[in-house]
Amino acid sequence: MTAILRVESRKLVRGTVILTGLLVVLSAFFFVVFPSIQEEAELFEAVYPDYLLALLGIEELHTIEGFIGGYIFPFVWILLAGIYFAYVSAGMISRDIRTRRMDLTLSNPVSRESVVLQKVAALWVPVVALNVGMMAVLFAGATVLGEPIDLASLAMVHLLGVPYLLVCAGIGLLLSVVVDRVETAQTTALILVFALWLIDGLSQMNSDFEWVGEITPSRYYDPSAILVHEEYAPIDATILLVTFLVLVAVSVLVFVRRDI
């Protein structure tokens, strides 16, 4: 039974192409400014207050690894791609119910569990496209700037970034089965992912509140640590994966019981 997976995958192609294109262009712009940032990196790190550096996860800004991990990834991957995954997933179920498409889908001999799982599985499209596109532009950019980058670390920062995106998708999916209005589900998902990102950064400024950041998914994905220190934190990635699976399981449980 892959009919739904096929159609859902195809539906994600257009958005994925636009997203990947945008993020690749954005990353390329970052590279354009890298040389000037590199020159003033020390000044940067001296002048900027610590909390801002912490908020952005900036370390070793004068190296290409520090720049990618501290500048490009927090914006491009954690914030923008995270929002995209949450936003798209938040429309998956709610929109089909709203447009009565779900009536026809469920008139087939297919279980509600299978419908949700096939829809989630269709996220392979943006996951693959985003990884390939970003790896290519980052590797090309580093090479052009004459700053060779370790391919293994580059691959790991992408691979370990996938569970983070899946958690964002899980948040969207749960909203998608709980909230009736498509717009409400998608806006809430978008705001929530942004807020979680902000909370993670802000909580690091004050040690009294640092524990608050423990509930944010971005706390469990640190691109700088991976690129600069080659610390891969497999446990953190596992925590994210388990969270994603729990979110999907709860979504399925809600969806099989509700009226559509």
Q: What residues make contact with another protein under the rule CB under 8 A?
A: 1-3, 6-7, 11, 96, 99-104, 106-112, 256-257, 259-260
- Rounded to a whole number of angstroms, the minimum distance from the CB of residue 112 to another protein is 8
- Phi-psi category of 146—alpha, beta or left, where left has phi over 0 and alpha has psi -120 to 50? left
Which residue's CB is nearer to another protein, number 43 or number 257? 257
Which residue's CB is nearer to another protein, number 49 or number 109? 109
Which residue's CB is nearer to another protein, number 111 or number 238? 111
Which residue's CB is nearer to another protein, number 99 or number 143? 99
- Rounded to a whole number of angstroms, the minimum distance from the CB of residue 101 to another protein is 4
Which residue's CB is nearer to another protein, number 108 or number 143? 108
- Rounded to a whole number of angstroms, the minimum distance from the CB of residue 174 to another protein is 20
- Rounded to a whole number of angstroms, the minimum distance from the CB of residue 111 to another protein is 5
Which residue's CB is nearer to another protein, number 79 or number 106? 106
Measured CA to CA, the distance from residue 218 to residue 212 in angstroms comes to: 12
- Rounded to a whole number of angstroms, the minimum distance from the CB of residue 150 to another protein is 42
Torsion of CA 92, 97, 100, 105, to 10 degrees: 60
Which residue's CB is nearer to another protein, number 86 or number 97? 97
Angle, vertex CA 23, rays to CA 82 and CA 16, nearest 5: 70
Sorted by sequence, the CB contacts under 8 Å of residue 25 that are 6+ apart come out as none
8-17's contacts with Cβ under 8 Å and 24+ in sequence apart are 8/92, 8/118, 8/119, 8/121, 8/122, 9/122, 9/124, 9/125, 11/122, 12/88, 12/122, 12/123, 12/125, 12/126, 13/125, 15/84, 15/88, 15/126, 16/125, 16/126, 16/129, 16/130, 17/129
- Rounded to a whole number of angstroms, the minimum distance from the CB of residue 107 to another protein is 4
With beta carbons less than 8 A apart as the criterion, state whether 126 and 212 touch.
no
- Rounded to a whole number of angstroms, the minimum distance from the CB of residue 16 to another protein is 15
Residue whose C-alpha is closest to residue 156's, from 76, 234, 66: 234
